Amino acid sequence: MLINEMKKINIKKKKILMRLDLNVPIKKNKITSYARINSSLPTIKFALKQNAKIIILSHLGRPQEGKYEKKYSLLPIVKYLKKKLQNTVIHFSNKIKNNIQIKYGEILVLENVRFNKGEKKNCKKLSKQYANLCDIFVMDAFGTSHRIEASTYGVGMFAKISCAGPLLISEIKSLKKAIKNPKKPVVTILGGSKISTKFNILKNLAKISDFVIVGGGIANTFLAINYYVGNSIFEKNFIHSAKILKEKYNIFIPIDCKVKNKKNECITKPSHKILNNEEIMDIGEKSIKKIQKIIKNAKTIIWNGPIGVFELQDFRLGTEKISHAIANNKEAFSIAGGGDTLAVIEMFNIKKKISYISTGGGAFLEFIEKKTLPAIQMLQLKYLQKKSI
């Protein structure tokens, strides 16, 4: 792979700008999953051992660009980093300054990059501002590698030296290994609220999969081809596209569902009997049993997203049973990715039973589909530019 790697270049006593993926779920000002932060800690610790000056960039959630919103502040993450790196001085700032004063072996975390105007549009001016902060730019946020933004792409193009961090390298190598020659049967489990955001990936994964199991709003859109789905989340504009996929590929649609009615009661009923005042929240026991059999026979499992509203106790069973089915298939190579998927893995304590866990969601799926990502292409371009000088 023709890219510079952080561990293979001299970063000793250099000013390092790291783009990490610290986009963790936060509820009531408390982090509910530390997986992505913990995955980035080895990269931070490696740079600290080299006595580097470290500046960290990350996004959190989807705030309105250019506007500060307290609920999207990185402050809870900074507090967690201080707890995990107790002997390290960690500063926190919402200002991008070229003359930032930090000492060797110290860390500065800059506020949520999505508070900065021009971030999502890959603004040249903002990209240059980021690049001017450092001697070396380290891209180690696999979860945002599919986005062409100022902190993921533009900064790398303008930095003197750009390289991939160890987490990004690990993600690329592991995913390439998983998708190069997957053992069959291949089973894909794809959850989520919107089929529109995952349709192209769903289509491409269906081509390489023997079975595709859909959950959440994606499953509801497939159900809406033939049935009423009541107050459930689904996308009317994608029903026809879903119908074409269903006719062409082996896509498993839930045969029964757990619904919430107007009295907020939890009821299990056949998928074809959903009433107008009911909302599908999970799959039923009959669907669970059929899916368990499919997973049991799988040799490769690609998993992204929960099957139902797992955050609520009454609608957790589908996700719980299927996640354990994946974990208990010792013959299969299982790869899992996505923020909600990481939360599920933590909730049911199955981390050690999953072959490979990716920190990315959209990036995880896009890499499987396209075998590369924009940030990786940027790093390859920078490598070639340096070689030609």
CA gap 20, 26 in Å, rounded: 17
Distances (CA, A) of 48 to 26, 52, 55, 106: 27, 6, 11, 8
Which run of H or of E encompasses 246?
helix 239-248
| Rg for the chain, CA atoms, rounded | 22
Provide the whole-model pTM: 0.81
pLDDT in the model for residue 195? 85
- Annotated catalytic residue within 339, 360, 361, 382: 339
pLDDT in the model for residue 82? 97
pLDDT in the model for residue 35? 86
Q: Is 362 a catalytic residue?
A: yes
Omega cis (within 30) before 185 = yes
CA gap 322, 285 in Å, rounded: 11
Cβ-based burial of 289 (10 A; exposed 0-12, middle 13-18, buried ≥19)? exposed
Which run of H or of E encompasses 245?
helix 239-248
Q: Is 361 a catalytic residue?
A: no
Could you give the percent of the chain with pLDDT greater than 70? 98
pLDDT at 178 over 80: no
Q: What is the dihedral of CA 362, 365, 367, 373, to 10 degrees?
A: -20
Which of 88, 86, 94 has its CA nearest to residue 60? 94
65 vs 386 pLDDT, higher one: 65
Q: Is 19 a catalytic residue?
A: no
SS3 (DSSP) at 257: strand
Contact 199, 238 (CB under 8 A): yes
What number of residues does the chain have? Answer: 389
**pLDDT by residue (tens digit) across 245-255?**
999 999 999 99
Please report which confidence band the pLDDT of residue 388 belongs to, taking 50, 70 and 90 as the band edges.
low
What is the mean pLDDT of the segment spanning 58-82?
Answer: 94
SS3 (DSSP) at 222: helix
CA gap 194, 337 in Å, rounded: 17
Output the DSSP codes for 117-135: TTTTTT-HHHHHHHHTT-S
Contact 363, 213 (CB under 8 A): no
Tokens describing residue 178: 């998983």
CA gap 376, 153 in Å, rounded: 9
Contact 26, 72 (CB under 8 A): no
pLDDT in the model for residue 361? 80
Contact 3, 17 (CB under 8 A): no
Q: Is 45 a catalytic residue?
A: no
> 216-223 vs 239-248: helix axis angle to the nearest 10?
90
pLDDT at 20 over 60: yes
**pLDDT by residue (tens digit) across 256-313?**
999 998 888 899 999 999 999 999 999 999 999 999 999 999 999 999 999 999 989 9
SS3 (DSSP) at 357: strand
Which of 14, 376, 381, 388 has its CA nearest to residue 164? 376
- Annotated catalytic residue within 176, 194, 243, 296: 194
Average pLDDT, the chain: 92
pLDDT in the model for residue 1? 67
pLDDT in the model for residue 321? 97
pLDDT in the model for residue 28? 83
Contact 301, 335 (CB under 8 A): yes
> 75-84 vs 35-49: helix axis angle to the nearest 10?
60
What totals of helices (H) and strands (E) does the chain contain, helices first? 13, 17
Tokens describing residue 389: 């000088």
pLDDT at 389 over 60: no
CA gap 111, 103 in Å, rounded: 19
Residue 303 φ then ψ, to 5°: -125, 125
- Annotated catalytic residue within 14, 36, 258, 260: 36
CA gap 76, 30 in Å, rounded: 7
pLDDT at 98 over 90: no
Tokens describing residue 231: 């107050």
